[in-house]
Amino acid sequence: MRRRWLFGDQLGPLFLDAPDQPVLMIEAHSVLRRRPFHRQKAHLVLSAMRHRAAELGDQVQYLVTDTYREGLAQVDEPLSVLQPTSWPALHLVDRLAEERDVERLPARGYATSRADFNAWADARGGKRLLMEDFYRDSRRRLDVLMEGAEPVEGRWNFDTENREPPPKSATLGLPEPSWPVEDDIDAQVREDLDRLEREGVRFVGEDGPRRFAATRAEALNALDDFVENRLPTFGRYEDAILTEDRWMAHSLLSASVNLGLVDPLEEVDAAVEAYRSGEAPIASVEGFVRQVIGWRDYIWHLYWYLGEEYRGGNELHADVDLPSWFVELDPAGTDAACLKWALSSVRETAWAHHIPRLMVLGNYALQRGWNPQQLTDWFHRSFIDGYDWVMGPNVVGMSQHADGGVLATKPYSGGGNYINTMSDHCGGCVYNPKKRLGEDACPFTAGYWLFLNRHRERFSRNHRMRRAITSLERLPDLDQLVAENPDLV
């Protein structure tokens, strides 16, 4: 059997063809020298790789080198490689296959195959590739939450029951998530990262206790904990933010599934089982299943389908550099309570749920015309679950509209009103979400109108933006707004 070269995000048993297959793993440090990753992310990836190597014992040849090439030069055997998760890594494998005996195999760790997606997309002529259609097709194909040809309970979508504003209470009152306990491998990783820092490698964010799974056992434990304690509440408050409740009812499983420690269909099976046994309502279970086999797989496939250039899109000509306080995850750089909170969350844990990512961090950048490629790089480095394949569609497409509307027909930009409805931040903020003018004008509200104003011509040709542009044209104080915000004109 060929030795399987495993990348650092191919760590579960499904990435081997047999339990005793020989393995090659290369811990290449040059990637850490090139740009500053969040300290907790670097810790998690190294810890997960080393834990996997410890499980594999003599079966693995584990090399610590500067580059992959240096590691590969130490191995003569024929290799097999599963399709990696980024264009640059794919090119490396393709070049390698021209130079030596390398068997290339399809990717694993996603609910649907690239061939399935391509057939689905080609059947639509590559146009109108809507997530909802892909998701329904996947539900049918994988027979998830189906009764014959129909969705269970007669509906595909429970959004009307989900996505409520937060309750009046400070927290959802759920138990604290079950966190892993660090061990000797973590202590060694911490020591190695300290040494690298002394040698000049830079990280951002706080060194943490490790909160996310580094082993399959920890990932399965985290899945059980989610299903038992948070899944029943998941759908209802999926989009809400509570200052005192960072995790709310989210699964916190993205890092585990992206490292390959748990299979997305295992997550789905566990959630569906909770529905079938009456432990979680359909609205929550369907909401979670939609995230995993809908959004996650859809984003993965679009990364490849839209091609390598997609990531470089900048249709709105957004060329402002990210400010250093943002790059350094320094919440002192802003007085906006919601932004301060989201940035603190990233600094302290390398995680925030999808609404702070989309409607606070991404929205702020979009309104200010920050460069989408710099922002993509920032998300990739700063988040515990950030990988190249997630960045293009999520950041360039969904968050920054830098693809000109390929992924979302309308930009995800909103004013303070949205944040005020969906969070409890505004009450404790120096700004007023209702105000766009004056000293206490909310930067999101002012930013929203000025973003529309900057792209007025483009958006007036977009029928989904017509109402917003009509409202902009009726604003009595646009001139004053422009005068107060020369940077956003």
Ligand X SMILES: Cc1cc2nc3c(=O)[nH]c(=O)nc-3n(C[C@H](O)[C@H](O)[C@H](O)COP(=O)(O)OP(=O)(O)OC[C@H]3O[C@@H](n4cnc5c(N)ncnc54)[C@H](O)[C@@H]3O)c2cc1C
Residues lying near ligand SF4 in the complex (CB under 6 A)? 336-338, 416, 419-420, 425-426, 429, 431-433, 442-444
Size of the site for ligand X (CB under 6 A): 27
- Residues whose CB is less than 8 angstroms from the CB of residue 141 and which lie 6 or more positions away in sequence, other chains included: 112, 116
Distance of closest approach, residue 418 Cβ to ligand SF4, in angstroms = 8
Is 443 in contact with 481 (CB distance < 8 Å)? Answer: no
Query: Whole-angstrom Cα distance, residue 473 to residue 185?
Result: 60
Query: Whole-angstrom Cα distance, residue 419 to residue 338?
Result: 8
135 binds ligand X (CB under 6 A): no
Q: Quick one: 270 or 342, whose CB is closer to ligand SF4?
A: 342
Q: Quick one: 337 or 346, whose CB is closer to ligand SF4?
A: 337
* Pairing label, strands 102-105, 37-38: unpaired
48 binds ligand X (CB under 6 A): no
| Burial degree of 205 (CB within 10 A; 0-12, 13-18, 19+) | buried
Task: Identify the sign of the CA torsion 378, 5, 308, 289.
Answer: negative
DSSP assignments along 428-483, one per residue: G-SSBTT--SSTTB-HHHHHHHHHHHHTHHHHHT-GGGHHHHHHHHH-TTHHHHHH
Q: What are phi and psi of 5, to 5 degrees?
A: -80, 115
R_g of the chain, CA atoms, integer Å = 23
251 binds ligand X (CB under 6 A): yes
Distance of closest approach, residue 302 Cβ to ligand X, in angstroms = 10
Q: Quick one: 190 or 354, whose CB is closer to ligand SF4?
A: 354
Work out which of 85, 254, 420, 423 binds ligand X, going by CB under 6 A: 254
Work out which of 354, 435, 456, 458 binds ligand X, going by CB under 6 A: 354
Query: Whole-angstrom Cα distance, residue 142 to residue 183?
Result: 38
Q: What are phi and psi of 204, to 5 degrees?
A: -120, 165
169-198: contacts with ligand X (CB under 6 A):
none
Coil, helix or strand for 239?
coil
The maximal CA–CA distance of the chain, rounded, in angstroms, is 73
Distance of closest approach, residue 441 Cβ to ligand SF4, in angstroms = 9
Distance of closest approach, residue 411 Cβ to ligand X, in angstroms = 13
Residue 395 interaction partner, one of ligand X, ligand SF4, none, beta carbon < 5-8 Å per kind: ligand X
Q: What are phi and psi of 316, to 5 degrees?
A: -90, 10
Q: Quick one: 343 or 442, whose CB is closer to ligand SF4?
A: 442
Query: Whole-angstrom Cα distance, residue 25 to residue 5?
Result: 6
Question: Cβ of 21: how many Cβ atoms within 10 Å?
Answer: 17
399 binds ligand X (CB under 6 A): yes
- Given the rule CB under 6 A, which of 158-166, 169-177, 304-312, 385-393 is the region that contacts ligand X? 385-393
Work out which of 112, 162, 373, 394 binds ligand X, going by CB under 6 A: 394
Here's the x/- map for ligand X, 289-308, by CB under 6 A: it reads as --xx--xx--x---------
Q: How long, in residues, is the chain?
A: 489
441 binds ligand X (CB under 6 A): no
- Given the rule CB under 6 A, which of 163-171, 355-363, 429-437, 473-481 is the region that contacts ligand X? 355-363
Work out which of 111, 219, 285, 390 binds ligand X, going by CB under 6 A: 390
Distance of closest approach, residue 488 Cβ to ligand X, in angstroms = 21
Q: Quick one: 114 or 354, whose CB is closer to ligand X?
A: 354
The residue ranges that bind ligand X (CB under 6 A) are: 250-254, 257-258, 288, 291-292, 295-296, 299, 353-354, 357-358, 362, 379, 383, 385-386, 390, 394-395, 398-399
